[in-house]
Amino acid sequence: MTGPVRAVVFDLDGVLVDSFGVMRRAFETAYAEVVGDGPAPFAEYNRHLGRYFPDIMRIMGLPLAMEEPFVRESYRLAHLVRVFPGVREVLTALRENGYGLAVATGKSGPRARSLLERLALLPLFDHVLGSDEVAHPKPAPDIVRRAMSLLGAQAEETIMIGDAVTDLQSARGAGVTAVAAFWGETDEAALLAAGPDATLRKPEDLLEWLASGRVAFSH
């Protein structure tokens, strides 16, 4: 069926901000400090992006002690994170047109809000939720459902935009339209294989897609 969208839930890294280089440096430092010599398996880590950091460590069989230096370095290098071109303008337009906006990220809530505040994006969102603020982080649907509840929106009125398969899984579990963002350093083939309801090549495509009135929901 089709219907009006009232709420947009965004992933953070790879969708709103380009933090890939910072994540790589923070991961490599954490690995060197906790594990020791040898190349840090960042390529494998990258395949799990979208998940909560401790969950990735468990999946990879790496020490949970890596979280402290990873978070420390992420804060230290936060000034290197950039907003993707077009994102600020798109968020501003969505606010002006009355959409409810939320962030649902694999980061912790405090770290996500700190970063968005540094980048002057925080005031554009109604709510910013981190993986430490729900019982089950992505790919579980909890964080998207929580965002919907806070925004006062129903599933058929909500879309979730992410750059990882875990984002799409979380969206689908919550019953909302799952939208894949292709402007970051993402695995496009894996995202397409996950069967998103829609794909966007650049942030501005979101405004055109919403204005078209052809937003399809498959519940």
Transcribe 94-128 into DSSP letters: HHHTT-EEEEE-SS-HHHHHHHHHHTT-GGG-SEE
Indicate whether 86 pLDDT > 90. yes
Tens-digit pLDDT profile for residues 161-190: 999 999 999 999 999 999 999 999 888 999
Q: How confident is the model at residue 218 (pLDDT cuts 50, 70, 90)?
A: very low
Q: Return all residues near 208 (Cβ < 8 A) that are at least 6 apart.
A: none
State the number of CA atoms in the 13 A half-sphere of 74 facing the CB. Answer: 22
Which residue among the candidates 13, 55, 142, 163 is catalytic per the annotation?
A: 13
Cα–Cα dist 219/217, whole Å: 6
Are residues 115 and 78 in contact, defined by beta-carbon separation less than 8 angstroms? yes
CA–CA separation, 42 and 33 (whole Å): 15
Catalytic residue, chosen from 11, 18, 163, 167, is: 11
pTM (two decimals) = 0.93
What average pLDDT does range 83-93 have in this prediction? 98
The answer to whether 100 and 8 are in contact (CB under 8 A) is yes
Looking at residue 2, the DSSP 8-state letter turns out to be B
With left for phi above 0 and alpha for psi between -120 and 50, is residue 111 left, alpha or beta? alpha
Is there a catalytic annotation at residue 163?
no
Can 13 be counted among the known catalytic residues? yes
